[in-house]
Structure 1
Amino acid sequence: MTMWVTWAERCAMSAVGVVVITTLAASASAQERSGFDAQTFAPVVSPGAVFSVDSAASAGHLQPYGAWMLGWANDPLVLEYEDGSREPVIDQQITGHLLGGLGFGDRYQVELGLPVIFSTRGSYEGASLAGAGVGDLTLRGKAQILRLAGGRFGLGAGFGLSLPTGDALAYRGAGAVSAHPEVLADYRIDSPAGPLVLSANLGARLQGVKEVHDLRIGPGLTYGVGAELEAVADVLFVGAELFGASVLVDPAITTSPLEALVGVRWALTEHLSVTLAGGGGLVSGVGSAAQRGLVGLSWRPDGAPERAAARPPACAVQTPPDYQGPRDEQGCALVAPQGCESLAADWTGAVDAQGCPLLDQDGDGILDAEDACPTEAADFDGLGAGDGCPEDDVDEDGVLDLDDRCPEVPGLRTHQGCPPPVQKAVREDNAIRILDKVFFQTDKAVIVEASFELLDQVALILRTNPDILLLEVAGHTDRRGDAEYNEMLSEERAKAVREYLVSQGVDASRIVARGYGSGQLLDESDTDEAHAANRRVEFRILEQGDEGGPSRAP
């Protein structure tokens, strides 16, 4: 014979708590009678919780909360025989749940929970299970780990410890200590129907392995997802959740129940509310009842200052549905208060705290109508165009004005933003002429450090002359050696120079590199002086802009 739990629906009964009495699947045998805890579903009442699915939010420092929940379960424990007949072991049970807790430091909370069985109707193997008693006492702690996205996303952790105060033979307790660590998450959404909180839990049930009626009950996973909608602000909350479990030592359908709950919570006062819920098992197994109902009274802080992240701010001025005037970022009407009649009905600009027209948004003394940067205050350092925009580097030499000893004259970083004392590079019509040579290590494309200042000056000319649209770095060698090798070496050296200029802040798209080898000799004589003159790097302006548009070098 096998124990199982039928399909069920639930109609909700409390955003504070819910009790679900489990069902069993097993075979009758002649072994010694034993039992387990049929109270596998425990309600939660902390801020932001749905019914049994908790949120990551905490109650707030020294904020108390509590609830009294009364649950009814139909056929929470049923036997099914091989001939198809069914025999309820527990066909009805009424259980109360007493819950209480306290928050600490706005991130932590601890709580106690005790199920009290008022009435049980059922029997097994001739022994009556009727009667009353208490279940296992649970001590639970929770911590909010983080809160991101402006308070909308939260992550937390919980840990529960159950003490064997219930009678296992009457299916009211586990008969041993068990633990329940879990991870909690929530996300808050401003939906068209009202603020919506989505929650998810994933945990583990840590307990010893026990064989009961051919079933192996032991460690397993627990999970749940839920949602609560604030349908009427601060008054009516509608919730729904799915929750289930799976025993790891025997993950069969009979040990993997899935249930659903739906319900409402009605706030009587700021902290006191009534909960109604109902539902049942969607997948039969240990932990599902055919039908289940819940009613409860709870006290909890609104504790979730995070809930405000999902609630749109109230508008100071209520407007008719056909209002066509200007609105702010929250969609509220921009209505001029008394004394600000200058705010026209079609005003779409910024307003101050009193709702009056804000003619200088950034407060830099330059009216928006004349301010090129109306939302960014000017720096008033006496430099630049004075157009109302902040200017950190007036001469655009890459050295910030605060560190630039010559803030209005382009210079080099190595000279604190001032021009170098010796000019080594000059812009001409179609080229940047260098007055020194670019030196490389012998037979390599590695620039010698002594040439860095020369190339810094070339980079400065490029940065401060944006009309130079395209520059060619041309590498040349002397006539000695293999011509193909010389062309390759000159190409690599030109590329090395290009890479250096890019590292100094020049846009890579403005520079091309090409090696000519010994194809463009300046001096064809075979002397050391001629060879030295032929080994060179040239900077040719291929394309530049002017008033008539870009032009290319001939």
Structure 2
Amino acid sequence: MRNPRGVGAIVALGLSVAVANAALAQSPPNDRAIDVQTFEYAIGPKALFTVSDAEVAAKRQLAVDALITFMTAPFKIYNVDPETNEVGEERTTVVESITSAQLTVAYGIDDRIQVGANLPIIFALTGEGLMASTGMPDPNGLSVTGLGDLVLEGKMRFHRDGSLRLGAIGQLSIPTSVGSNESQFIGDNLPTVRAKLAAQYDTGRVSLGANTGVILRKPRTIYDSTIGQQLTWGAGAAVRLTNKFSLIGEGFGRAGLPDFSLDASPLEVIGGLRLYATNAVAVVVGGGAGLVKGIGSPESRFFVSIGYSPDVRDTDGDGIANARDKCPMVAEDRDGWEDDDGCPDDDNDGDRRPDDEDKCPTVAEDLDGFDDDDGCPELDNDGDKFADLQDKCPNDAEDGKEPQPTDGCPAHLRDSDGDGLNDVFDKCPSAEEDMDGFEDGDGCPEADNDNDGVADAADKCPLCPEDKDGFEDGDGCPETDNDRDGIADAQDKCPMEAESINGIKDDDGCPDTGGQQVVALDGDRLLIGKIPTLAGASLTPAGTQIVDQVALLMNRHPEVTKWLIALAQPKADAAKKLADAIKARLVAKGVPAAHLEVLGAAGPAKIGGVVQERGEEGAFVCPAGKEVQQRPETIPAPAMPVKSEPALPPKDSTTKPTPAPQPQSDEIEID
């Protein structure tokens, strides 16, 4: 009887003592010249694992693989009930595990024929062994190491049509199996003959393969199982996820002839990865398991391999093998320039001049705008014996005239001080122009643009002369209001003492006692203690005095660029009239209209203000009429060096100025 998975011989239990005695009286078969390893790594270049390609190695191509595999329980014996033919408990694990290697080599004879070989090496085959008389474990166990049977192979591809390839494979195993413990289960002691057909279909990144064939050998019987002639088959698919990485799955098995017994019909599925470390080196990792209990079908399997298969073809016929050819589809030009890389060098020197038009194909053109079409570098364009890299006028010959007879420039093009202005136009040919945007066309440096006695390097206002009034005269800026009381020094009777805002002679610039201060600035809040009054459409004298105090305070803070005053009167028209009158008076007292907004609204009478915007603290503005004016240039100023600017926006884009902050509401609370 045979069990469903057939990894071992099947044992029938006798139901009577007579039957048992009769069985013991016989001498059961015990031929152990069986190879329980059914995983045979394909010989030569391959897309799958055990399924051979229909394609062959290229002419003179060598392909070598080294594989190590470990599998468990490929041979077991089970108890079987002879009445029901049901498989019972496991009786003996004849072979528990095998650790082995396979070395394969293949060589391409021509574009259609390949020869190769596979040599198994058994590192360790272990198990319980088998007592042939009882089917029970051998008390001495089983342990074997040695060599397996050498398999010689010839392959021919006989059909190729687009993506489809067909091939025929013939193999002969040589009984080289030799090892310890009588070489049990590692090979045959007679030659075997094998033949199979291979089909392969490639579609881009997917490769499909299938094999079918036969093994012809002497039948071997051990206990209740016979291993003889077998049909072989295998099929699989490989998906190349990237140029370096493939995912592979396949199934393979054998079918015992003539009765297709399960013991002689192992079946296994495996899967794994193939990584192409280089174009010639591939690493494989995979595993699998048997699906039935035929002899040779393991409970589990793991394998790893490394293969070397250089591409010795020369597709472009330039004498450089594809494996070393960086341009395998385009022939090397063999011009003596980097001829070992396999790529034609149409422009050896990389100067963008094709070699067939380049007068100096191995020396790069200097691309300096002078005779650049001939492909040769002109190191001295003007022929004055001064190399262009050191020649200030590389395209105009030196005339040898003083004061710079060796700078490479003729006198009319010479720029002795290097300020970009030729000496013939330069009023100071030996002194470099300072290029500060002030009278730069004369070639002379202006150390003090505004002639105020403060050098530009130390002058905070180089175009606005210092007023020399004994107050902070070292900074180069005129101080028009020394005491910063909002009254210009020209009208200030006490320019070094700040006016006190108290309603008593607030316009003379001198501090006074008495009176009352009705305005103050608390942070950004403008406090106005009294509401100005109107007489008709104009401010009353008392109202004018209040507004003048506001103006004086505002003028003390030139850094404020936006003031807002809000007021309320019982009637809206009265509020508007008062707002207009206040603004007019503030502007008259020197507050810039652009810095001022006065709003009026109906409501309980009140007034207040706020700072809305501030500029740079202490920003200086040269008084009108004081700024130094440049004299007209008598000669054009040389071009200033221009820094690279950011890319311009697209034509349909519009750059808008950032709007000034606006009040969040038209309603302003007045304390």
Taking structure 1 as the reference length, the TM-score comes to 0.49
More relative contact order, 1 or 2 (CA 8 Å, 6+ apart): 1
Computing the radius of gyration from Cα coordinates, the structure with the larger value is 2
